[in-house]
Structure 1
């Protein structure tokens, strides 16, 4: 399909006169369009759930979450990868965002980079891609050559491939094991896929990466237990997490236990919930591969 015929490139009848609207009407109209995003994403629940399950299996074997895309899609992948590190305490090499044109393309467009399939293959080769890895290819239009090249190379390597697009029957979907296609409709501003399409991709990435982290035991109840308390805000959050999940523990007790556990929030929770010593709590966690929920929800 030609670019001009893609859903993402069509004019939106609801915003034909957005240039002459009052500011409040402009805001309301854009908000009305944004409300369609969650509905579109919801049509892909089954595929997103499958993506989480398959990705979690590979991640638990040492695989990496690797995002590839160009422009807004590429930037959203880099963002998701970067935020997993402080949120869930993973090593930076376990979540990697690749954007067509390299790191500089995060800030300034690199013309032509997205049109190269070979560039994506080289980028993935440099990472020594393996069969345990998960490659998420993002393209609102569903046709970016950089993403297609990356997905093809990943498939040949045996890695899990997931495509995320905002058009039906996307090209990238034909190159992936799991094709997620949230059709959000024409943008408020024609072709500005940083808007609804970008929001949809962000929502989908949030669900996939969060789901994978939950299945790694990095969430207990509904709190982040592998957050790394590296500054005063995060230390305060860690103490509140320990306090609220253990119930009886005072704020000071939570702080003292966190210090004893060498800033390991999950370990501190297990110590307090089971009345175990540091070494006993460590042993319990080792039997469950560090999964706090599995230790405590017996």
Structure 2
């Protein structure tokens, strides 16, 4: 099996390198005339045809995930969590490389210097890395200072470094509203990076960390270049963090601009293919979050050493481990998390069963709110789910909701961000969007996104565990629930009330805890007193650190595997590909096109296909893209197609047409897809050894 997997991986990479997308003809054997938008994408958007990137390849360890997890949930989760071993290897490689380790140590010193001199740190990203940036500020930095405020050491810190807790800003492309769901078109606009830099008041002496998993995101590149323009020749001011090797990025002009810019310091953190193809919310983002968190914590310790004693630092959670030691220490975190797969399976099975029965899930989190919220909101674009419901939604469309003990929505946002909500002011962004975006398709999408990016968006989303929310969308029989605890979190009355309310309603709660200590006895006693058995997933990460980074990373990996496992069990993953992806920006249009092409051509190579119909000319990139854009229209307009993902509908439509030697019949394709999903449709094309066509 391994040989076949590597052959398929090699085929994908070689095909992308050897056949320029724009050079491939679009023969009319499918009866599809390429739309103007498709012709424009194939001819003019090669810079967004990213299938050659390492992060877009299929990972051998999770290659047959959908089959494995359907047969054995724990085995499928173990496969997902095993891919995190690539992070261990990547971080070990950095720790063992004197030059790369020295770059991180230099970043730590520059952060210390900037904070000492009263300057700010600005972390910026798009999508998953935007949520990473906000996690650094609102999930690590601000909670640390909130805890430190209760310490006797705080007076000494404030006297020497006034306002230190306010000097880190994490920003996502599109502002805080984009935490719920990315805003259409924004990530493809370099100019928005400069505008958000200006909007956040970032100055030439501040440090900017522009973070992109792929290394090619236009908005992040725009941020890095704008910051370098501010700072001039001083490369200590602007840092570019990415997860693909330089060699695979150089074909892309916008990436070359950063790689060749001496004013920008590069931090490459390649981790290889992701557990779910292209889903960089997993290994790539985990790697960057851990590295940047370690560097920030190291810099903060160095700064506070100037005013605090060793005992005072230890009381805040700091220890003497250097950056290299912390990077090597990730291996223990990964092993501990992976060992939880058998226990995690009970939660995954419960939640998947609830969704299968048409029920919903609710998570309650306090200190864990940011990593939990991030995982939940990232499910929508990855697996084609409805985003979180608004307070005025006439019916529940989102499968899941996240609550935190707060009186109302405004307090819940404060609990999440630990600062005021920040939307985009149209007065700043509208003129550059209207006059500066030349591409008409991109301009139209960006203007639509801007209309949903302002401060008023805060009131539309209520994350509070409050009477109003309980009345609106409280637990029902058959719902799934999870109480999620992080770090040294006290068992609050709200947690007890939530557990009892869920149990009384006939819902199925679980308890999840990630801490440096075992679960507290009072928590276990409350769980044991419930009328039905409650699974307990407890992960003990022994090392305590000041920012609770180790525990946060362990929880992230745990929930990422769980949510991916749930979606795989619900048919939202085929093999290890995100065939339910929503092609809402140029990168995702390119990814969707490549998924159509690779799934179809893999089937055409199988013995089952050739025995039935002989040899068939492979699908070309332009053909696949034309079909995708037509599928987007069909999904909007064709009866019964509205709930079907474009990639899956396209794969079935193309294979049906090639099998029949006739033009695509969208209605027939929709009927076949609804009958059993893409995995079942592809099952007859399994190889003689029982492997599925990828």
TM-score, normalising length: structure 2: 0.31
- Quick check: 2:61–2:82 contact (8 Å CA) kept in 1? no
Q: Is the 8 A contact 2:259 2:266 kept in 1?
A: yes
- Tell me how far apart the structure 1 counterparts of residues 112 and 174 of structure 2 sit (CA, whole Å): 29
Give 2:144's aligned residue: 87
State the match for 2:298 in structure 1: 211
Alignment of 1:58-137 (within 5 A): 58-82=114-138, 83-88=140-145, 91=164, 93-137=166-210
Equivalent position to 1:17, from 64, 88, 96: 64
Query: What displacement does 1:140 show?
Result: 0.4
1:65 and 1:81 in contact (8 A); partners too:
no
Does the 8 Å CA contact 1:173/1:180 hold for their aligned counterparts?
A: no
How far apart are the structure 2 equivalents of 1:41 and 1:112? Answer: 33
**TM-aligned CA deviation for residue 234 of structure 1:** 9.1
Counterpart in the other structure of 1:51:
107
Q: 1:91, CA displacement in angstroms?
A: 4.7
Question: Do the aligned partners of 1:139 and 1:164 also contact (CA within 8 Å) in 2?
Answer: yes
Q: Give the C-alpha shift of residue 114 in structure 1.
A: 0.9
Separation in 2 of the partners of 1:117 and 1:215?
35
Is the aligned partner of 1:149 residue 2:222? yes
TM-score scaled by length of structure 1: 0.70
**Which of 5, 30, 36 pairs up with 2:80?**
30
Measured in 2, the distance between the counterparts of 1:234 and 1:13 equals: 38
- Is contact 2:224–2:264 with CA below 8 Å preserved after alignment? no
**1:201 Cα deviation after fit:** 1.3
Distance 1:93 1:120, change over 3 A: farther
Are the structure 2 counterparts of residues 53 and 92 from structure 1 closer, same or farther at C-alpha, using a change threshold of 3 Å? closer
Deviations along 1:149-193, one digit per CA (max 9) or x if unpaired, are: 111111111171111111111525445632111111111111111
CA distance in 2, matches of 1:54, 1:155: 15
Partner secondary structure for residue 182 of structure 2:
coil
How far did 1:225 drift?
7.5
* Structure 1 vs Structure 2 CA RMSD: 2.4
Does the C-alpha gap of structure 1 residues 79 and 145 become closer, same or farther in structure 2, counting only changes over 3 Å? same
Structure-to-structure mapping, 1:151-190, within 5 angstroms: 151-158=224-231, 160-169=237-246, 170=249, 171=255, 172-175=258-261, 177-190=264-277
Post-superposition CA distance 1:79-131 (Å, at most 9, x none): 10123123145655311111111110011121111111111111111233223
Provide structure 2 residue ranges, at least 5 long, that are not aligned to the other structure: 1-46, 95-100, 149-162, 250-254, 319-487, 491-694
1:3 corresponds to 2:50: yes
Q: Secondary structure at the match of 1:132?
A: coil
Length, aligned pairs only: 229
Q: C-alpha offsets along residues 243-288 of structure 1, whole Å, 9 cap, x if unaligned? A: xxxxxxxxxxxxxxxxxxxxxxxxxxxxxxxxxxxxxxxxxxxxxx
Q: Partner of 1:163: helix, strand, or coil?
A: strand
Structure 1 contact 51–178 (Cα < 8 Å) conserved: no
User: Aligned partners of 1:80 and 1:129: how far apart in 2?
Assistant: 17
Inter-partner Cα distance in structure 2 for 1:42 and 1:51: 18
Displacement of 1:41 in angstroms is: 2.5
Q: CA deviation at 1:136?
A: 0.6
Whole-angstrom distance in 1 between the partners of 2:280 and 2:73: 21
The 1-side partners of 2:276 and 2:128 are apart by 15
How far, CA to CA, are the matches of 1:212 and 1:179 in structure 2? 18
Deviation per residue, 1:185-239 (Å, 9 max, x gap): 111111111111111011112112111211211674544289xxxxxx899xxxx
Pick aligned residue for 1:41 from 82, 86, 91: 91
Report the equivalent of 1:272: none
Q: CA deviation at 1:52?
A: 1.0
Please identify the structure whose Cα radius of gyration is greater: 2
Q: Whole-Å Cα distance in 2 between the matches of residues 104 and 73 of structure 1?
A: 15
Match in the other structure for 1:195: 282
